Chain A
Amino acid sequence: MPWLTAIVFSPLAGALVLGTLPRSNEDAIRRSAFVFSLVPLVLCLAVAWLFEPGRPDMQFSERAAWIPSFGISYHLGVDGLSLFLLLLTAFLTPLVVLASWSEIRTRVKEFHVLVLLLETGMLGTFLALDLFLFYVFWELMLVPMYLLIGVWGGPRRVYAAVKFVLYTMAGSLLMLVAILYLAWAQARAAGEPSFDLLRLYELALSPAEQRWLFAAFALAFAIKVPVFPLHTWLPDAHVEAPTGGSVILAGVLLKMGTYGLLRFALPLFPLASTEAAPYLALLGTVGIVYGALVAMVQPDLKKLVAYSSVSHLGFVVLGLCSFNAQATAGAVYQMLGHGLSTGALFLLVGVLYERRHTRQIADFGGLWKVVPVYASFLLVITLASVGLPGLNGFVGEFLILLGAFAEHRVLAVLATSGVVLGAAYMLWMYQRVAFGPISHPENRELRDLTKRELATLAPILLLCFALGVYPAPLLERMGPSIELHLTRMRDKVERTLPHAPRPATEHEPSSVGPS
Chain B
Amino acid sequence: MNAPDLSWTALLPLLVALGTALTVLLADLWSEGPDRESLGWLGVVGLSVLGAVSLLLWNRHELTIAGTLALDRFAVFFDLFFAFSGVFALLLSMAFFEKQVQQVGEFYALLLFSLFGMLAIAATTDLITIFLSLEILSLAAYVLTGIRRDDPRATEGALKYFVVGAFATGFLLLGVACLYGATGTTLLAPLAEALRSGTSRALVLSGVAFLLVGFGFKLAAVPFHLWAPDAYEGAPTPVTAWMAVAVKAAALAGLLRVLSTALDPLAADWKPLVAGLAAVTMTVGNFLALGQTNVKRLLAYSSIAHAGYLLVGVAALESGGGSALLFHLVAYALMNLGAFAVVVALGERGEVLAGFEGVGFRYPLLGAAMSLFLLSLAGIPPLAGFAGKFYLFAAAVRADYVGLAVLGALNSVLSMYYYAGVLVRMYMREGEPEAEIGGPLAVTLWVMGLGTLLLGVFPAAFHRFAELCFSALG
Contacts and interface: CB of A to CB of B under 8 A. Distances in A.
A184 B394 contact: yes
B382 interface: yes
Contacts of A136: 381-382
Interface string B395-416: 0011000110110011011001
A135 B386 CA distance: 11
B82 interface: no
A195 to B, nearest CB: 10
B325 to A, nearest CB: 16
B273 interface: no
A514 B403 CA distance: 9
Contacts of A66: 460
A113 to B, nearest CB: 10
A158 B424 contact: yes
B402 A166 contact: no
A338 B409 CA distance: 33
B58 interface: no
Given A66-B460, A139-B380, A139-B381, A177 B428 contact: no
Contacts of A146: 420, 423
Interface in A44-99: 66-70
A58 B167 CA distance: 63
Contacts of A165: 416, 420
Interface string A380-414: 00000000000000000000000000000000000
A110 interface: yes
A176 to B, nearest CB: 6
A438 interface: no
Interface in B380-394: 380-382, 386, 390, 393-394
Given A143-B380, A166-B416, A158 B428 contact: yes
Contact of B463 (A67, A107, A183, A187): A67
Contacts of B361: 107, 110
Contacts of B410: 170, 173-174
B440 interface: no
A67 B413 contact: no
B330 interface: no
Given A166-B417, A169-B416, A514-B403, A176 B409 contact: yes
B156 to A, nearest CB: 33
Contacts of B406: 174, 177
Given A170-B413, A173-B410, A151 B397 contact: no
B60 interface: no
A166 B467 CA distance: 34
Nearest to B398: A184
B262 interface: no
A142 interface: yes
A22 B463 CA distance: 39
Given A67-B460, A173-B409, A180 B381 contact: no
B420 A162 contact: yes
B307 interface: no
Nearest to B467: A69
Interface in B339-387: 361, 364, 371, 375, 379-382, 386
24 contacts: A66-B460, A67-B460, A67-B463, A68-B460, A140-B380, A143-B375, A147-B423, A150-B424, A150-B427, A157-B428, A158-B424, A158-B428, A161-B428, A162-B417, A169-B413, A173-B409, A174-B406, A174-B410, A177-B402, A180-B390, A180-B394, A183-B394, A184-B394, A514-B403
Interface of B: 361, 364, 371, 375, 379-382, 386, 390, 393-394, 397-398, 402-403, 405-406, 409-410, 412-413, 416-417, 420, 423-424, 427-428, 459-460, 463-464, 467
Given A110-B361, A136-B382, 14 more contacts: A66-B460, A136-B381, A139-B380, A139-B386, A143-B375, A158-B428, A165-B420, A173-B409, A173-B410, A173-B412, A176-B390, A177-B402, A180-B393, A184-B394
Interface of A: 66-70, 107, 110, 132, 135-136, 139-140, 142-143, 146-147, 150-151, 157-158, 161-162, 165-166, 169-170, 173-174, 176-177, 180-181, 183-184, 187, 514
